[in-house]
Structure 1
Amino acid sequence: MNNNKPSILKACVDFQQNQVDRFESRLDTIKADMNSQDTSPSQTENRNTGKLEVIANYEKELVFAKRELSVLNSIKPDLTSDQVELGAVVYTKDLNFFISVSVGKFSVDGKEFIGISEQAPIYKVMEGLKKGDTFSFNQSTYTIENLY
């Protein structure tokens, strides 16, 4: 297995940047819609109240997405990890993990990975382990075959 951490990190950064861009675009659309309505004050007020709640929710999601992007941008693609920690790429026989943020499953160079955050329950079980170590999670046992 080669160390393809730069490609893995780039895939996650691209995914997260896309999330940020989508939230910003959606917020811009909703705000523009609020400002362009041509209705009576009582109708606008009722419609805008619901939209303000939607905007508040999108803004929370945007803040979270930007925070996750910041975590990804803090990871050094050229550093090799000798233990499971933020930025580590963990290979097992059944699953491969990228310790970063929760981006779910993704593929890079024909290999499937799961992006997990340091808050994920499985990370708590893996944290600090090294190549050759074994851990169990959800009734499955994994042996760390390689680590970058």
Structure 2
Amino acid sequence: MPKRPEKSSIIHACIIKQQLEIEDFEKEISALKKEIYSHNETPSQGDSSAAERTEVLQRYESEVGFLKEELEILQGIDPNSEISQVAPGAVVVTNQRTFFISVSIEQVEVNGQDIFGLSTKAPIFQSLRGKKVGDKFDFNGIHYEIQDVY
């Protein structure tokens, strides 16, 4: 088994990824606001186009709020906590992939290993919750065996 990445490194990588995603959305929001509130709109631009942009702006602002809440969750995880069963804040190494029980983050690479951020709201978490090293479970037709939890 490869050397397990430190939880602090995993948290750090997830925080950076989350911050970058927030920054990307904030740039889009800024650009949309300039477009919507520009005083140089031409007569050919109809009200429906402005309404659509406003709707997109509201969705983006809502997404940024959600991402910021998830960032706070990440920042609140104690990298030194001792965890022996699957729970929020745990790193779970299986025969298929490594999960970090926190928030939904597609994937981060830490020390050459792919780590998948997994929200406690994700369906697979219900199959993982409370499991320990050596436990097995199936999810969506895939067999998992837990090799390490920390």
Structure 1 and Structure 2 fold alike (TM over 0.5): yes
Alignment deviations for residues 39-97 of structure 1 (CA, whole Å, 9 cap, x no partner): 36784744422221111111111111111112111211111211101110011222111
Q: What does residue range 50-129 of structure 1 map to in structure 2 within 5 Å?
A: 50-129=52-131
Higher helix share goes to which structure? 1
Unpaired runs of 5+ in structure 1? none
Question: Which stretch shows the higher mean deviation, 76-85 or 36-45?
Answer: 36-45
C-alpha distance in 2 between matches for 1:50 and 1:103: 28
Tell me how far 1:111 sits from its aligned partner.
Answer: 1.2
* RMSD (CA atoms): 1.9
With structure 1 as the length reference, what TM-score do the two structures score? 0.89
AA partner of residue 118 (structure 2): I
C-alpha distance in 2 between matches for 1:102 and 1:40: 41
C-alpha distance in 2 between matches for 1:114 and 1:7: 13
Q: Give me the identity figure in percent.
A: 38
Does residue 1:22 correspond to 2:24, yes or no?
yes
CA contact (8 A) 1:37 1:44 kept: no
C-alpha distance in 1 between matches for 2:91 and 2:75: 16
**1:41/1:110 Cα in 2 relative to 1: closer, same or farther (>3 Å)?**
same
Question: Which stretch shows the higher mean deviation, 38-47 or 74-83?
Answer: 38-47
C-alpha distance in 1 between matches for 2:58 and 2:43: 22
